[in-house]
A and B are shown apart, each in its own frame.
Chain A
Amino acid sequence: MLTTENLPRPPYGTYHDWYASQDTAHLIRKTQDAENIFRKTGITFAVYGHADSSEKLIPFDIIPRIISGREWRKLAQGIEQRVLALNAFLDDIYHKQEIIKAGRIPRQLIENNVAFLPEMIGFKPPGGVYTHIVGTDIVRTGEDQFYVLEDNARTPSGVSYMLENRETMMQMFPELFTLNKVQRVEDYPRLLRQSLASLAPPGCKGRPRVAVLTPGIYNSAYYEHSFLADQMGVELVEGGDLRVIDGKVKMRTTRGYEAIDVLYRRVDDDFLDPLTFRPDSALGVPGIMDVYRSGNITIANAPGTGICDDKAIYSYMPEIVEFYTGRKALLENVPTWRCSEADSLKYVLEHIEELVIKEVHGSGGYGMLVGPTASKKERAEFAEKLAAKPGNYIAQPTLALSTVPIFVNKGIAPRHVDLRPYVLVSDKVKIIPGGLTRVALKQGSLVVNSSQGGGTKDTWVLED
C-alpha cells in the first residue's frame, strides 16, 4: 500500500485515510462478521482427503487490493491479447498446425500430450471459440511489471469468491464504496449467460437452453457450481440427469426429457464422455462427444483446451502470442526451464535452491518444490524425482513478488498475492475489472492456493 517514501500508493490514498480513522478492535469484529457470513451462506470448499473437516472456509481478508484504472487498462490489454492468441493456437493445432510446421513448437510436445485430444482434430466448435472462460493468473513484481504465471483455460474456478467477496465488503463497509469509485464485478453471471447463449449451436432455434454440469455435492467447487447456476438462472445438472436422445443432449425433468443447447461443464475432459474417454466415468454423459461433433450442443470450455494451459506449453507462450497476433506479448512470461531439455535440466539441478520446480500436469500447488524455502533433504529427494523423469517438470526463478497489506490482529502486515482476472470470450473478449486476489497468509510464503492455507480478498479496480 505504501511507496518507498512511506506514502500511500495513489490508488490506496482514500482507503488509507479511512483506515487511519478506524478502531482496530472494530475491524477485528468485522473480520469475524465476514467469517460468519461465509459460513452461514455455505461458501465452503472441500479439501480432499480430510473426512472430518470435509467443508472448509477460505479465510477472507477485509483490506481490499486496489488497482488503479490506468494499471488495469494496461493489464487488460495484455490479457486480451493473450486470450485471443490461446484461441488461435487451439484452432491451429486442431486444424492446420501451422505453428508446428513453422518449427516454433515441437510436434511431439503437442501430439504426445495427454491434454491433446485427437477427437478434436478437424472440428470447429460453434463460433470458433475454444476457451469461453479463462482465468489468467498474474503476479506483480514491480510498479509496472506483471508476469503471467498460468493461463487457466480448462475450467478456471474461484469466480464465485470474487463475487461473494465484493458482496461481503459492500455489506460490511458500505461507506467505502461511496468514498471510492470501484468498477462493478456484479454483472459477471449475466455476462456469462449472455456469452454462453451467444455461442449456441447454429441449429438451435429460439432461446438457447443453458445448463451447468457439476460432478455433484462432494466436489470441492460445488458451491461455485450451484452459485453460478443460480445467479445465471439456469439448471444445475449432473451426469445422471443427462442422456443422449435423438442426437441431442437432454435432461430429465419432471415433465420428461428436454434438450440442452449450451453446457457449461465443470467436469474435466477425461470424465465428460465414458464412450470416448474414461469408460469408468459416472460424471459425464455417454455419447455427448458424438452430439458435440455433429454440432448439436456447445460445450464450454471446448474439450481439448487443456493443451494450451499445460505447463510445458506455457514456456512457449511468448512465441505463441507473437505467432498469432504478430506483436510481441504485452504481458511477460516467467522465464521457464524445460527440464526435458538436457542443458536446462543440468542448470536446474545445479541451481535447485534458487528455483521453483513444478510438475507439468500438477495443479493446486501440489507436487512442487520451492527451492529457497525447502530443506536440504526435501531438495535432495526432489532432485532424484526430477532426474528420473525430467520431462515431467519445469523450473522457474522465484520472483520477488509484490506484497499487499492484509489485516492481522495487530494491524496491517504485508503478504504476497497473485491475481486471477476472469475473461469471457464470445465474438468479443470481456474482462471483468478485478478478479480474485489470493493471499499467502503465512508470513513470507509464496503459495496462495486455498488447499495450502491461502486466503482471498476483494479486488478493486478504480474508475479514473
Chain B
Amino acid sequence: MLGRTANGLYWMFRYIERAENIARLVDAGLRVSLTRAGSSDEDWNGVLESAGVREAYDTVHSELTAANAVDYLLCDRNNPSSVMSCIEAGRNNARMVRTALTRETWEATNEAWIDLKARLSRKWKAADLPELIDVIKHRCGLIRGAFHGSMLRNDLYNFSRIGTFIERADNTSRILDVKYYVLLPSVSQVGSALDNMQWESILRSVSAHRSYGWVYEGEYQSGNIADFLILNGRMPRSLAYCYAKITSNLGYLAEDYGERLKAHETADAIKKTLKPDAIAEIMDQGLHEFLEDFVSRNSQLSAEISEGYRFYQ
C-alpha cells in the first residue's frame, strides 16, 4: 500500500469525523440558545473555541453573532474546519484513494458531497437548521455504515480507523478543555440551573446526554461528566475509547508489517494515562493541564504515524 494512500485514508476519515463533530457542536450551541432565558450571542464564543476556530472567525467577521457563527461553522469555505470544507476535503481525499475504497464507501462519500454541497451553498434560515444538521449527521453515518459493512479488515481499514479516532480524541478533549472550569468541583454549585445547562451542553456536543443518564443514574456531577468523557471505555467518544481503538489498530499494523514504531510507544504511553479509576488523580493534578497535555500528545502521535508509515516522504 502506498504511503500516500495511507495518508489519504487517514485524512479522509479525519475530515468526515470532523464534519460530524462540528455539526454536533452547532447542534449543542443551538440547543443552549433555545433553552436558556436571556441567552446571548456570546454563548457562541465557546462553540467557536471548541471547534478551534475562534481567532480565524475574527478575521472574517467583525462581531460575534449567532447567525454568523453558525454560518462560519457550517458553510464558510474560508473556514478549513467548516462542514462544507471538511466534506469537500474528505471527498477529495477519497477521490485520491478511490482504488482503496469499496464502491459503496466511495459512492456514500460522493453522494454526501453532492448533497451537502448543494444544501450548504444555499442561504439558510434559522428554521432550516435542525434538518440541515440532521442531514449532515445522516450523510456521515451512511459513509461510516458503508465503510464498516464493506471494507476488508486490512491495513487500509486500520489507517482509516486511526484517522477517525485521532480526530475524535482531539475533538472531545477540546470540548472539555473549553469548558473545563465548569467541571471543577470548587466552582460548581451542585444542582444550579446554570451548571446543569453548561453540563448538558457538553454532553450534547458529544451526543452523550442520554447515555450519561443511564450510566450515572441521572444526576449531573462534574466529576462524573469528566469521568464519562475521558475514562469511560464504553463511551464511544471518550478519550479512553478512542485510545483503545487507536492502539488496537496500530497493533494490527505492527503485526502485519512485523515492525513496531515510535508511534506504538507513544500511543501506549497515552493510553496508560487513561486508566479507568484515575479521575480523582486527574482532577487533583488539574483538569486543564491534563487536557492541554493530552491534545499536544495526540497531535504528536499523529505526526509520528505520518512519518513512520511514510505518508509524505
Q: How far apart are the CA atoms of A41 and B111 in the complex, in Å?
A: 9
B313:A42 contact, CB within 8 angstroms:
no
Q: How far apart are the CA atoms of A229 and B97 in the complex, in Å?
A: 11
Q: How far apart are the CA atoms of A238 and B257 in the complex, in Å?
A: 24
Given that A226-B99, A235-B99, A254-B257 are known contacts, is A40 also in contact with B110, CB under 8 Å in the complex?
A: yes
A254:B95 contact, CB within 8 angstroms:
no
Given that A41-B107, A217-B96 are known contacts, is A240 also in contact with B310, CB under 8 Å in the complex?
A: no
Given that A235-B2, A241-B4 are known contacts, is A254 also in contact with B309, CB under 8 Å in the complex?
A: yes
Chain A interface residue count, Cβ-Cβ cutoff 8 angstroms: 22
Interface of B is mostly: helix
Q: How far apart are the CA atoms of A40 and B113 in the complex, in Å?
A: 10
Which B residues lie within 8 Å of A236 (CB)? 98-99
Given that A40-B110, A42-B110, A241-B4 are known contacts, is A255 also in contact with B257, CB under 8 Å in the complex?
A: yes
Q: How far is the CB of B187 from chain A (nearest CB, A)?
A: 47
**CB within 8 Å of B: which A202-230 residues:** 216-217, 222, 226, 229-230
Of the candidates A216, A222, A230, A254, the one whose C-beta lies within 8 Å of that of B3 is: A254
Let me know if B196 is at the binding interface, CB within 8 A. no
B99:A229 contact, CB within 8 angstroms:
yes
B2:A254 contact, CB within 8 angstroms:
yes
Most chain B beta-carbon neighbours within 10 Å: one of A42, A236, A252: A42
Most chain B beta-carbon neighbours within 10 Å: one of A237, A251, A253: A253
Which A residue sits closest to B106, measured CB to CB? A42
B92:A217 contact, CB within 8 angstroms:
yes
B6:A254 contact, CB within 8 angstroms:
yes
Q: How far is the CB of A218 from chain B (nearest CB, A)?
A: 10
Q: How far is the CB of A263 from chain B (nearest CB, A)?
A: 14
Let me know if B155 is at the binding interface, CB within 8 A. yes
Contact with A along B247-289 (1 / 0, CB 8 A): 0000001000101000000000000000000000000000000
Let me know if B1 is at the binding interface, CB within 8 A. yes
Most chain B beta-carbon neighbours within 10 Å: one of A235, A237, A251, A254: A254
Given that A252-B313, A254-B155 are known contacts, is A42 also in contact with B95, CB under 8 Å in the complex?
A: yes
Q: How far apart are the CA atoms of A19 and B15 in the complex, in Å?
A: 47
Which A residues lie within 8 Å of B152 (CB)? none
Let me know if A326 is at the binding interface, CB within 8 A. no
Which A residue sits closest to B311, measured CB to CB? A254
Q: How far apart are the CA atoms of A53 and B94 in the complex, in Å?
A: 19
A252:B4 contact, CB within 8 angstroms:
yes
B106:A240 contact, CB within 8 angstroms:
no
Let me know if B64 is at the binding interface, CB within 8 A. no
Contact with B along A253-273 (1 / 0, CB 8 A): 111100000000000000000
Q: How far is the CB of B193 from chain A (nearest CB, A)?
A: 49
Q: How far is the CB of A190 from chain B (nearest CB, A)?
A: 16
Which A residues lie within 8 Å of B99 (CB)? 226, 229-230, 235-236
Let me know if A39 is at the binding interface, CB within 8 A. yes
A237:B2 contact, CB within 8 angstroms:
yes
A253:B110 contact, CB within 8 angstroms:
no
Given that A252-B4, A253-B2, A254-B1 are known contacts, is A226 also in contact with B310, CB under 8 Å in the complex?
A: no
Let me know if B114 is at the binding interface, CB within 8 A. yes
Which B residues lie within 8 Å of A238 (CB)? 4
A241:B3 contact, CB within 8 angstroms:
yes
Contact with B along A358-381 (1 / 0, CB 8 A): 000000000000000000000000
Q: How far apart are the CA atoms of A39 and B99 in the complex, in Å?
A: 18
Given that A252-B2, A254-B6, A254-B257 are known contacts, is A222 also in contact with B95, CB under 8 Å in the complex?
A: yes
Which B residues lie within 8 Å of A241 (CB)? 2-4
Q: How far is the CB of A223 from chain B (nearest CB, A)?
A: 8
Q: How far is the CB of A3 from chain B (nearest CB, A)?
A: 42
Which B residue sits closest to A256, measured CB to CB? B310
Given that A39-B114, A230-B98, A230-B99 are known contacts, is A254 also in contact with B310, CB under 8 Å in the complex?
A: yes
Q: How far apart are the CA atoms of A163 and B288 in the complex, in Å?
A: 57
Which A residue sits closest to B257, measured CB to CB? A255
**CB within 8 Å of A: which B137-191 residues:** 155, 159
Which B residues lie within 8 Å of A235 (CB)? 2, 5, 99
Q: How far is the CB of A250 from chain B (nearest CB, A)?
A: 11
Which A residue sits closest to B8, measured CB to CB? A217
Q: How far apart are the CA atoms of A59 and B103 in the complex, in Å?
A: 22
Q: How far apart are the CA atoms of A238 and B2 in the complex, in Å?
A: 10
Most chain A beta-carbon neighbours within 10 Å: one of B1, B6, B95, B106: B95
Which B residues lie within 8 Å of A230 (CB)? 98-99
Which B residues lie within 8 Å of A253 (CB)? 1-3, 310
**CB within 8 Å of A: which B1-48 residues:** 1-6
Contact with B along A36-79 (1 / 0, CB 8 A): 00011110000000000000000000000000000000000000
Most chain B beta-carbon neighbours within 10 Å: one of A217, A237, A251: A217
Which B residues lie within 8 Å of A229 (CB)? 99
Contact with A along B275-313 (1 / 0, CB 8 A): 000000000000000000000000000000000011001
A40:B92 contact, CB within 8 angstroms:
no
**CB within 8 Å of A: which B76-113 residues:** 92, 95-96, 98-99, 103, 106-107, 110-111
Which B residues lie within 8 Å of A237 (CB)? 2
Which A residues lie within 8 Å of B253 (CB)? 254
Which B residue sits closest to A211, measured CB to CB? B2
A226:B98 contact, CB within 8 angstroms:
yes
Contact with A along B219-262 (1 / 0, CB 8 A): 00000000000000000000000000000000001000101000
B110:A252 contact, CB within 8 angstroms:
no
Ordered by A's residue number, 22 sampled pairs between the chains whose C-beta atoms are within 8 Å are: A39-B114, A40-B111, A40-B114, A41-B103, A41-B107, A42-B98, A42-B107, A222-B95, A226-B95, A235-B5, A235-B99, A236-B98, A240-B4, A251-B2, A252-B2, A252-B4, A253-B1, A254-B3, A254-B257, A255-B257, A255-B259, A256-B310
